[in-house]
Structure 1
Amino acid sequence: MYKIRVILDTKKDVIRTLLVDSSSTLEDLHKLIAKVFGFNGQEMASFYRSDDEWNQGEEIPLFSMDDAPDALCMATTTIEQNIEDPEEKLIYVYDYMNMWTFYCELIEVTKTTTSELPKLILTIGEVPDEAPEKEFKADKPEKDAFDLDDDDFDTHFDEFDSLDDIDFDKY
């Protein structure tokens, strides 16, 4: 039995702690997370393997778009195949139009089983009416010899007004 903490990526704490059978599929976990957070479970979703810093890794989609027989998808992948030790993590994204993002962390593994699984054991906070807006930022790459800023661009190309000014015979 796994105890999994699921945290909605919002400014206010919105947390659900679940008890699940470790041999359940990620599709089962997807349906459970959708249910306990008040969603209908009908939107596309994916789990992503994650490291300790919550960096997004390999995708495990709800449905595989790959024809390969061993392609990853939630229906054929168990929870224990993806997280098996406490503190291992998954990122869960529900509804690609709204990008509800959740952080799932295995917090306890027990050998005992109960017939009442899955089970919601802790609820903290209310789910907002709308998904929090995501801000995607890329690290600014270091400038190399081929980078031009606005001043460089104007300097190199200021004599060019139209294609009529180019003498194509030179090239």
Structure 2
Amino acid sequence: MIYKFLVGSEESENFKLEIKIDSEDTFMRLRNTILDASGYSKEQMDSFYICDDDWHKEKEVTVMDMGSDSDEDVWIMDDTPLDELLDEEGQKLKFVFDYMTERYFYMVLKETIPGKSLHDPLCTRKEGKAPKETTDYEEPAKPVAKIPDATIEDLGEEFYGDESFNEDELGDLDEYDGGDDGLNA
């Protein structure tokens, strides 16, 4: 079966790729096809994330095993065929190509073509210009105002808080479960 992916970027709205690849091919071959079509290096750390319908990350497929100690499954691009994790049209993915700033391409499995196969993946359509591969961190440093040195005596008693502090006001921190802190998005 052939998978047809549409690839886009929020940073460069006119940039679009269409990739056709055999469903039994690996995520690594899909990665390399996207990087080649975008003009990006293959030396960076990157990952695919299988997403739900609202683009929330569910499963990660990485370039290499990062030594995770968790009980979660670990999928490595070279070892994972696409059809192991993808099986229906409309599935959404993110391809994080800049790990440091979480920049990514969004992808949709637009079509499955049964009864056909491809030996090598193909970029069958490319529009626009890909966003810069990495963010330039060499911004001019802003001058920092000198803060005068202070001693504990200079800070006074108010630095340590109000004398009427009541530890019971914090509640039971042992019951804190983390809640939805947005880190799983």
1:106-125 equivalence runs, <5 A: 106-115=109-118, 117-125=120-128
Distance of 1:54 and 1:83 partners within structure 2: 15
Deviating runs (4+, > 4 A) in structure 1?
A: 130-133
Letter in 1 for 2:129: E
Say yes or no: does 1:44 pair with 2:83. no
| Cα distance in 2 between the residues matched to 1:8 and 1:117 | 24
Change (3 A) 1:130 1:61: closer
Q: Which residue of 2 aligns with 1:150?
A: none
Alignment partner, residue 158 of structure 2: 161
Q: Match of 1:35?
A: 36
The question of 1:126 aligning with 2:123 is answered no
**Identical counterparts, % of pairs:** 26
Deviation at residue 160 of structure 1 after TM alignment: 4.0
* Number of equivalent positions: 139
Is contact 2:48-2:94 (8 Å) kept? Answer: yes
Cα deviation, residue 162, structure 1: 5.0
- Paired with 1:46 and 1:24, the residues of 2 have a C-alpha distance of 16
CA positional deviation for 1:67: 7.1
Structure 1 runs not aligned, ≥5 long: 134-158, 167-171
Q: Which residue of 1 aligns with 2:19?
A: 18
For the pair 1:55 / 2:52, whether they are aligned, the reply is no
Given candidates 81, 86, 99, the residue that maps to 2:84 is 81
Secondary structure of the structure 1 residue equivalent to 2:109:
strand
Counterpart of 1:45 in structure 2: which amino acid? D
For the residue of structure 2 that corresponds to 1:42, the secondary structure is coil
Query: Counterparts of 1:31 and 1:100 in 2: how far apart (Å)?
Result: 17
Pairwise CA RMSD:
2.7
User: Alpha-carbon deviation of 1:82?
Assistant: 1.8
In the TM superposition, what whole-angstrom CA distance separates every residue of 1:43-88 from its partner, at most 9, and x where no partner exists?
A: 00011110111112222211012378x6321111111112111101
